[in-house]
A and B are shown apart, each in its own frame.
Chain A
Amino acid sequence: GGGRRMKRTAPRSILRKIIKKHKPQLRLAANVDLLVLFYFTFEHECPGVVHLNFLLFLNRLAEEARTNAFENKSKIIKPEHVILAAKVI
């Protein structure tokens, strides 16, 4: 993290491949591919817009994990904090 700028997009082909792995018989229309990419668009470059899906998911996971760490008086995020957070989401 830190000051470095985040990349705006995720590789399209990877997203396609992930869905293909889970659902080999499922086909994605071309525009849908772009929409899945759109799921990935980073908020940072245009502040004020909606967080999108996967990022929103990671954001919620991060916040829940941090809450769990605070409750355990831990200064560092441990795996159990993440796992507990995932159960809530």
Chain B
Amino acid sequence: PRSLLRPKPVPKRSGALRRKKCEPAVASSLIKKIFSHYVKMPVARDSFQAIEKCSEKYFRQLSNDLEAYSSHAGRKTVEMVDLEVLMRRQGLVTDRMPLHVLIERNLPLEYRKLLIPVAVSGNKVIPCK
């Protein structure tokens, strides 16, 4: 029982250097998990740095786009319409697949309620599929 009281040796972390930067980013473990899920083959360890760099560029681009759309509309705040326009440009939102349908299908109820307080569709009939 005495051995239980002895403090465990703390393993030296080599990641301390990286943590100093403290830049907000999506957790590298999450990126790693998603990427290796899609790629379905072994990935060299140093490849993940390249993937993270690409992800950062992706978010920079996203930020640029959102700024461009909102400032084009003369606003300083990104509104829902800006994302809708962005998703339309990417082909995620189309006339047959309006944003609120995407939301209804993908978000859990408590978020859905916040985004769609009333039905946006009016009396339009949206063809299913």
Residues of A within 8 A of B (CB): 1, 6-7, 10-11, 14-15, 17-23, 25-32, 34-38, 41, 46, 49-50, 52-55, 57-59, 61-63, 65-66, 69, 75-79, 81-83, 86
Contact = CB atoms under 8 A, between A and B. Distances in A.
Give chain A's interface secondary structure class.
Answer: helix
A34 to B, nearest CB: 5
Contacts of A66: 39-41
Contact of A41 (B34, B42, B106): B106
Interface residues of B, number: 55
B51 interface: yes
A78 B76 contact: no
Contacts of A22: 59-60, 63-64
A41 B23 CA distance: 23
Contacts of B70: 26
B78 A18 contact: no
B66 A58 contact: no
